[in-house]
Every structure is written in structure tokens, then in C-alpha cells.
């Protein structure tokens, strides 16, 4: 058992993270199983999203995620994958906020 306060906090944090990671991995597995049962473009989109979230949470390495996404896309194949992967460019203009500079005059 931890003795110091920081060790106790670390234990609480690691237990919480473990629960979160396990529950996320379970949802990821169910998403993938549903996709493998009936591979469609829409379910592939959900799998891509779940894999990207796993990379963001440091559950998967980015190369592993890329490999998985490639293998799953082969199951759907064709134009459906291209429609999901290619994103429409947005023509949003970035507007910078300008702040007023006040200059103090020397007397």
C-alpha cells in the first residue's frame, strides 16, 4: 500500500485511468466486431473514429492505428473508402483579432 500522499494520489489516478481505458477498449472491440460482421462504409467511419480516439488516448501507437485502418478499409474496398477518407476542403477565412495599442505620450 502507498504511504506518501503523492503515492496515494498516483494509485487513485492509475485505478481511474485503468477503468476508463478498459471501458474504452471494450467499446472499441464491439465497434470493430459489428464492422467485421457486416462491413459497410458507415460502420467503417465509426471504426476509423474509434481508432483515432484510441491513438489520442495513447492506447494505440499511430503506426498500429494506420495498419488497422488499412486492413479494415480493404474489407470495404473501392469508392466507399475514398469517399470517407477524402475530406472536402473548407474555404473558411481566418480573421485575426486586432487589439488597439495605446501609446502613452511622454510629457
| pLDDT tens by residue, 3-29 | 999 999 999 999 999 999 999 999 999
Arch. (CATH architecture) of 5-85: Up-down Bundle (1.20)
Instruction: Quote the pTM value.
Output: 0.68
pLDDT at position 77 is: 81
Residue 52 CB partners (closer than 8 Å, separation 6+): 65
How many Cα atoms are found within 13 Å in the side-chain-facing hemisphere of 86? Answer: 7
The series of mean pLDDT values per 10 residues for the chain, 107 residues long, is 93 96 96 94 94 95 96 83 67 71 62
Query: Residue 14 half-sphere exposure, CB side, CA atoms within 13 Å?
Result: 7
Amino acid at each position: 500500500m502507498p504511504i506518501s500522499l503523492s503515492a496515494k494520489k498516483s494509485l487513485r489516478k492509475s485505478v481511474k485511468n485503468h477503468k476508463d481505458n478498459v471501458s474504452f477498449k471494450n467499446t472499441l472491440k464491439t465497434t470493430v466486431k459489428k464492422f467485421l460482421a457486416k462491413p459497410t462504409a458507415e460502420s467503417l467511419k465509426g471504426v476509423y473514429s474509434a481508432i483515432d480516439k484510441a491513438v489520442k488516448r495513447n492506447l494505440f501507437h499511430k503506426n498500429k492505428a494506420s495498419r488497422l485502418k488499412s486492413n479494415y478499409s480493404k474489407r470495404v474496398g473501392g469508392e466507399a473508402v475514398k469517399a470517407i477518407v477524402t475530406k472536402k476542403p473548407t474555404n473558411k477565412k481566418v480573421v485575426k483579432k486586432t487589439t488597439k495599442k495605446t501609446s502613452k505620450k511622454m510629457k
